[in-house]
Amino acid sequence: VRLMLQRNFLIWLLASLFYAYQYILRVIPNIIAPELITKFKISVTDVGQFGGLYYVGYTVAHIPVGLFLDRSGPKLVVPICTILTFAGTLPLICFDEWYYSILGRIIVGIGSSASAIGIFKVASMYFSQEKSARMEIIIGLLGAIYGGLPLDFLLDKFGWDYVIYTFSAFGCLLALLLFFVTPSNDAQGSISDNILQDLKTVLFNKHIILISFFGGLMVGPLEGFADGWAKAFLCEMYQMTGDLASSLSSLMFIGIGAGAFFLAYLLEKCPNRHCEVIIACSFAMIASFFLLFTRAGGLYVVLPALLVIGFASGYQVITIYKAISYVNNNLVGLATAVSNMIVMVFGYFFHVGIAKIVDLYWDGMIIQGNPVYGAGLLSFDDEIYQSIEKELQRQRSQLQLIASENFVSKAVMEAQGSFLTNKYAEGYPGKRYYCGCEYVDEVESLAIERLCKLFGVKFANVQPYSGSQANQAVFASLLTPGDTILGLSLSCGGHLTHGAAPSLSGKWFKSIQYTVSKDTYLLDMDEVEKLALEHKPKLIIAGASAYPRKINFKRFREIADKVGAYLLADIAHYAGLIAAGEYPSPAGYAHVMTSTTHKTLRGPRGGVIMTNDETLHKKIQSAVFPGLQDMGTAYCGDSRNANYGLADEERVRNGRFFAL
């Protein structure tokens, strides 16, 4: 007898482990949703449908699995379904095509259907029905709890592909143990041979159908919220970290365990109080969700509210046990299948429904690899939000041929909206005026390194707020008020900061302007040389804001050397072309180069200064900070990406047409 009890306990333990195991695989896609969106290039709706497809397979397989369990016992059915469960997860990491993962998700649902039915079947075969509900929850809910913070930790530490491979190996071992431990003669002896009659008996039992239907209406808190969206909700509404949100999400499953025990005990003592229990649970859920959604009470109500929601959801196990109480033991598997099928099919609609609503209002924003679902600005300032939305629609419907406007990549938007916004960092890498700047130093150092490599220079400053600010920093480092500068006239395609009268460069310095030939509209280099020899400028500026021809930087340097002037090459409107090798580079000729990051480099708004002269670089560093500004922002730029070559070839061809 003792040996039999040990065997029965081992069978129950393995079946419970399978229940916990399938639950972990069930929630993995919700935890790795950002990775799925990135790898397969899918939307939030796709993720929601993917989660919901689990319930399609889960529901469809219920009746066949229930029939097989009633007729052949759990020895073959449960191990085979265990194999299906982990095999269906493998396409996520083995294939790059999304439809393989969709098919696999349905297979996971088919395999998982045997977990709930199998454990009810095992419990009813080896233990008293009054205790089996409580026993089933003990380990099963551990899987739900493990699907929170511990699983999140493993995924962060080892990566999702490694974790899925590991869990697949564990599933294979579990299937083997279930097959060898479970006896082969454990099917019920009084099984009817008339399958249709069995189906009719269960499907036309109004008590089973009604109880299961109303149970299905109440699965939203578990299947729709706890399984899929609790973590994202807590992160958005309460600004929690992912780890903390995962931990608190698990509280609902602890609550479910406590609720199932307590409610089962209560109904044992008061068997005719089902209506009162359901009404009390419903009002408890409504009140808890109201507190969570309105943030009434702040963070203090989150923990108790989640526990109460979980506790009130404990009716689900009671629902199934109430349903199977209307059939004989020989139909327990089928009755469980039908009841659980009806309840769980609602999970698909809750998953997909919530995902569609979220996707409807989601703007596609992803920060630090995580989708941002919350309303954000909309909830704080509707007027500003609406203006930004109108601007977005304008950009999508209109084409403005303005050099300073471009459509930045999502990577740039992500960097600009990152947590660097919270950091203040005066000074330069390794020489800051504030502590806690080590990671800002990393980012700025990478930007400098990549910018130097991109343009073939030795030194760079990436802190100026704009190209104009960059030019002013060069003026401050190389000139004194009253010095003479030589730049292209604004009317001939020059820039305000190249000595135009309205700008500070035209007010602080004696500005001499060269022009283009009236016949060819090309730069008149002979005139440049004549003006330089006549006025002896201290700085000559080569560059333009509206000159679609090649500039002879070599000739400019020769002229500068003749009069002992510095040569500044302002390449803001050519930088992308230069980086792509489609336009002559002044790197070997100019003493200093300046540029913006938001034109042909397709980065955010900012300016940069480059040079090969270390002495000039030190002067420029002092001119930028503390000379002109405090903290720079341009190191968030996308100028490090050199893969704009193809796009710039198009710009060259189109530019020839527009320059005519």
- Residues serving a catalytic function are 424, 426, 570, 596, 599, 605
Vertex 546: Cα angle to 574 and 489 (nearest 5): 115
Give me the helix-helix angle, 242-269 and 274-294, nearest 10°: 160
Task: Report d(CA 570, CA 594) in Å as an integer.
Answer: 5
Q: Report CA-CA distances (Å) from 381 to 360, 376, 422.
A: 20, 9, 20
In the chain, the N- to C-terminal Cα span, in Å, equals 99
Angle, vertex CA 58, rays to CA 52 and CA 62, nearest 5: 150
Half-sphere exposure of 397 (CA within 13 A, CB side): 6
Map 469-532 to HEC letters.
HHHHHHHHHHCCCCCEEEEECHHHCCCHHHCCCCCHHHHHCEEEEECECCCCCCECHHHHHHHH
Residue 508 tokens read as 């602080």
Query: What are the distances in angstroms from CA 315 to CA 210, 254, 260, 270, 609?
Result: 15, 14, 6, 15, 67
| Count of other CB atoms within 10 angstroms of residue 626 | 11
- Asked whether the beta carbons of 109 and 23 are under 8 A apart, the reply is no
User: Using CA atoms, how far apart are residues 549 and 523, in angstroms rounded to an integer?
Assistant: 9
The span from the CA of 479 to the CA of 187, in Å, is 96
How far apart (Å, rounded) are the C-alpha atoms in residues 558 and 561? Answer: 5
Specify whether the CB–CB gap between 373 and 243 falls below 8 A.
Answer: no
CB 578 within 8 A of CB 584: yes
Contact indicator for 305, 291 with CB cutoff of 8 Å: yes
How far from chain centre, in Å, is Cα 336?
38
Q: What is the CA radius of gyration of the chain?
A: 35
List the beta bridge partners of residue 540.
Answer: 486, 567
CA 421 vs CA 237, 417, 490, 655: distances in Å: 20, 7, 36, 36
CA–CA dist 366, 345 (Å, integer): 31
Element (H, E) at 592: strand 592-596
d(C-alpha 177, C-alpha 361), whole Å: 47
DSSP state of 594: E
CA dist., res. 39 & res. 94, Å (int): 12
Residue closest to 42 by CA, chosen among 111, 99, 116, 120: 99
Are 36 and 366 within 8 A, CB to CB?
Answer: no
Distance CA 300, CA 285 (A): 17
- For residue 602, what are its two tokens? 């397709």
Task: State the chain's maximal CA–CA distance in angstroms.
Answer: 114
